[in-house]
Chain A
Amino acid sequence: MTGLGHAVDTLAAWLAGGPPGWFAVTLAVLAVWVAPLLLLVFPVAAFGQILERKIAAAIQRRKGPNSAGLDGPLRLVFRAVLCLLPRERQDRAFAAFCNLVPVRTALLWSRRLGLGQFVADGIKMLGKEDIVPRGADGAVFRFAPYLALVGAFLPWCVLPFAQHLVMLETEVSALFVLATSGLVVVALKMAGWGSGNKWSLLGGMRAVAQLVSYEVPIGLAVGGVVLWCGTMDLHAIVGQQYAPGVFTLLGWNVCQGPFLLLLLLVFFVAGLAECQRSPFDMAEAESELVSGFNTEYSGLRWGMFALAEYTEMLLIGALVATLFLGGYQSPIGEQWLLLLPTWLETLLHALILGAKTLVVFLLMMWIRWTLPRFRVDQVMRLAWLVLVPLALLSLLGIAVTLLVAGGTTEGMAYGRLAARPRPDLSWLPWLLLWIVPVLAAVVLVRAANARYGGRHPALRRLTGEGA
C-alpha cells in the first residue's frame, strides 16, 4: 500500500479505520520505526557503555564504575510524583521506600554495578558547551554526527527481531544494510574535514580508507550467505536456517560447512574494522591522533558519535547472528517455541537475538581491551591480502558445494515467508565437506608454523614456556 512495509500498513489502516491518510501513516511510521529504535537501541547502547567499562575494568583488574547507583534518578522520580507535598515529606517517603529490604539491596547492587553511570554521563554530556572551532567548516562540522547516527540506525529497519517483528520487509534487505551503513563513511569524512584540525583530518582520511576497503570483504561475506541461501531477504535467510528436530542449531549457516564458518570469521573481523573497534581503531587512535576525527567534538555531538559507534557494534553483532547464527531462532527446540502464543514467542525470539548479539558484543570488547592496534599499512594488507582472498575462497567453496550437492530440497523456512529450495546434503557429503577443508587448513597452518613460527629462546624464557 504505502510501500513502507506490512507493519506500517496494518497499523496505519487500524488507526484510520479505513484507507490511511498521511497523518495515520506518519503516526504509524513513528510508532513502528522510530519509537522502537529510540526506546530499544539507545538504552541498550548506553548500557553497552557501562558493560564495556565494567569489562575493561575486569580485564585490567580495576573496579570500574562502582559508586553511581540509581538512587539519584529514583529520588528525581519521587520528587516528580510527590511534587505537591512539601520537600520534607517527599524526603521522608523516599527514605522509607529506600529502607525496604529489597529496594535497599537493589540500590546497593545498582551502585556496585555502576548502573547510574550512564545517567551521570548523559547529564554531564548535556551540560557541556557545544564548541565549533574557529577554523571549522561550521555546517559540515555540525551535520556530521547526525549523519553518523542515521547511518548507524537505518540498517536496523530491515533486521528481523522476531518472526513477526520486522520494521521493513523487503526482498533486498541484505543490500539495504550494506548500502545504509555506508553512510557512516561520509559522516566520518565530514567530521575529519570539517573540524579544521590536522589530527581530525588524518583520522578522517584513515577512516575513509579503512571503511571503504573493508566494505569489500563484508560485501563478499554477505554475498556468500546470499549465494548459499538463494535470497537477499534477511528474514528469509533467517527462515532458511531452520531445521526440524530438537537441535535446531544444526540448520544454522555456520554449521553448513567450513566455508560458511570462514565467512563468519571474515565478516566478524571486517565488521570490527567497520565500526572502528580495536585493533582497527586507527581513525581515533588515542596514542597517535589524540582522538582522530572526533578530536574537536564536545558534548552532545561527541555523544552522538559514541552512540553511533556502539549502535554499529550492536548492529555487527545482530548481523553476525542473523546471517550465520540462525537469527532470532533458538538453538534447541525452535519448533516448540512456535507453539507458544504470538506475543510470548515474539518476546522470546527478540531476547534470543539479543543474547546472540551480546555474545558478539562481548567478544568485541574482549578483543579491544587485549590487543594492540594495527598500523595503517597492516590494516590495508589484512583487508586486501587476507580477508578478500579468504572470502573469495569461501565463495568458490560454497559454489562448488552447491554444484556437487546437486539436487535441492524444499526449504525449511516458516512464517510469512515462502520456502525456498536449499542444497540437499546427506550426512556423508556433509561430513566430507567438513573434513577435507579442515584437514587441508590444519596441514597448511602446521607447515607455516614449522617454517615461520620458531620463537627466539629468550622470548620463550620470558613467557615461561620451556627452559
Chain B
Amino acid sequence: MTVEASTPAGERMTLNMGPHHPATHGVLRIVVESDGEVVARCTPDHGYLHRSIEKIGECVEWPMFVPYTDRIDYVCAMNANLAYCVAVERLLASDPATTVVVPRRAECIRVLVAELNRISSHLIAVGAMAMDVGAYTPFLHGIAQREAVNDIFEKLCGQRLTYNYVTIGGVAFDLHDGAVAEIAAFLDQFEREMQRFNRLVTTNTIFRDRCAGLAVVDAAQAIAWGLVGPNLRGSGVDFDLRRDESYGIYGELDVRVPKGEAFAGRHGRQGDAYDRYVVRLLEIQESVRLCRAVLQLLPPAADKPADPLGGHQAEVSKILRKVPKGAVHVRTEAPRGEMGYWIVSDGGKVPFRVRCRTGSFTAAGMFQHVMRGIFLADVVAVIGSFDVVVPEIDR
C-alpha cells in the first residue's frame, strides 16, 4: 500500500540509511526524505565498495581474472566464476584453432556447483528478507543450510566463500571421493528443512501481509527498468537464460521457470515483494531438482586420476597466451539475475576490456521508483525483496 506524503518538500526529514545501518545489506546508502513514517523520496547512493575490478581486468592475464570475479558477487562466487569462464570460452571459440572443449564431466560439475551456489545464495536472500521484516530466526536456519553447502565446497576446492573453482576450460579439481553421495544426502535433508522454513515464515500471516502489495512492479515496468533474474520473473515475465539462451549443458536439462502469480492471495498483486520472495523459494526447489538431474548425468571420472578433466589444462593455458582478436558479450543466469560479460581481446595475453553487467545494479536503480509513498519500515523489506548485494553494484 502507498500513502501520499502531505508535508511540503522543505519540511521533511532527511534520513541517511546507511552506509552503516544494520539492515542495508553491506555498505549501501539510501537517502530517505521522510514525512513522518512515509517515504516521500529516496535516493540510493552507491560506490562505497568500488574496487575497480573491471579496470583490474585490463591489467591481469585472462585466467588471473577468475579470482576477481569471486569478489564481484561473493554470495554466489561459483556463478560469477562460471559467467566469466563461459564468456572467455565463447571468445576462444570464435577461432577454430583456439577452441576449447570443456570435458563433459567438468560441464556437469559446473552446473552442479552453480546450482548449489544458487541455493545458498537464495538462502541468504530469503533469510535476510525475513530478518528485515523482523523475524531473526529464519535467517539463522537459512545460514545453517548455507553452511552445509559451504562444507561441500570446502571439500571440493578448499574455500568457503570465494572459490576460484571454475576455470577457463573446465573446473579446478574433480569431485572428491564420496561427493555424489554427500550432495545427494544434503539435498534430501535440505528439502525437508526448507519445508519447515516455509511453514515458519513464508506462510506466516504477518510476514505475508507485510509483503503483499508492497513495491509492485508490473511486467512492462520490470522490462523497461531492466530488471533481471528472480526480480523480473517475480513480475510475471517468463524468461530465464538457462532455458532461453542456454549455455553449458543446461540445454539438456529440463529447466522449469517459476514466475510471480500474486502468491499472497487477497491483498497481493503480481510483482509485489512477496512474489519476488516466493519466486526465489521456488527457484531453490528447481535447483534441487536440477542438481539431482545432473548427478544422474554425471559421467564417471577419467581413468588417469592425476588428470581428471581430460588433461587439457596445459593446452588451455597455452591458448590463453594468445586469445584471438574480437569482442563477445555472454549472458548467464546468476542467482541475482543476468550476469553478463563484455570482453574485448586485442590478441594478447591480457584482456583489452572486461566489463560486467550485474543484476543488483538495475534493481538498485529501481528503488527510487518503487519506494515512493511506502512506509519507512518497508524500505528495508523492499531492499531485501530485490536481493541487492552491494559488491555487485559497485564492483
Contact = CB atoms under 8 A, between A and B. Distances in A.
Contact of A372 (B21, B134, B194): B134
Nearest to B140: A60
A462 B140 contact: no
Contacts of B95: none
B229 interface: no
Interface size class of B (residues with CB under 8 A): 35 or more
Nearest to B379: A288
Interface in A251-286: 278-279, 281-282, 285-286
Given A61-B140, A454-B265, A459 B135 contact: no
A282 B204 contact: no
Contacts of B198: 459, 462-464
A21 to B, nearest CB: 55
A456 B259 CA distance: 13
A287 interface: yes
Contacts of B144: 61
A288 B133 CA distance: 9
Contacts of B207: 372
A370 B204 CA distance: 10
B195 A455 contact: no
Given A282-B377, A375-B210, A462 B137 contact: no
A456 B212 CA distance: 13
Contact of A462 (B37, B132, B204, B282): B282
A281 B192 CA distance: 31
A109 to B, nearest CB: 26
Given A371-B135, A376-B377, A458-B282, A202 B263 contact: no
Q: Interface SS of chain B: helix, strand, loop or mixed?
A: helix
Given A374-B206, A454-B265, A198 B195 contact: no
Interface residues of A, number: 39
Interface in B365-395: 375-380
B128 to A, nearest CB: 9
Interface in B99-140: 130-137, 140
Contacts of B278: 458-459, 462
Interface string A86-114: 00000000000000000000000000000
B202 A459 contact: yes
The 5 A-B pairs with the shortest beta carbon distances in the complex, nearest first, are A373-B134, A464-B195, A287-B23, A372-B135, A60-B140
Interface of B: 1, 13, 15, 21-23, 36-37, 130-137, 140-141, 144, 192, 194-195, 198-204, 206-207, 209-210, 258, 261-263, 265-266, 278, 281-282, 285, 375-380
Interface of A: 56, 59-62, 198-199, 202, 205-206, 278-279, 281-282, 285-288, 290, 369-378, 452, 454-456, 458-459, 461-464
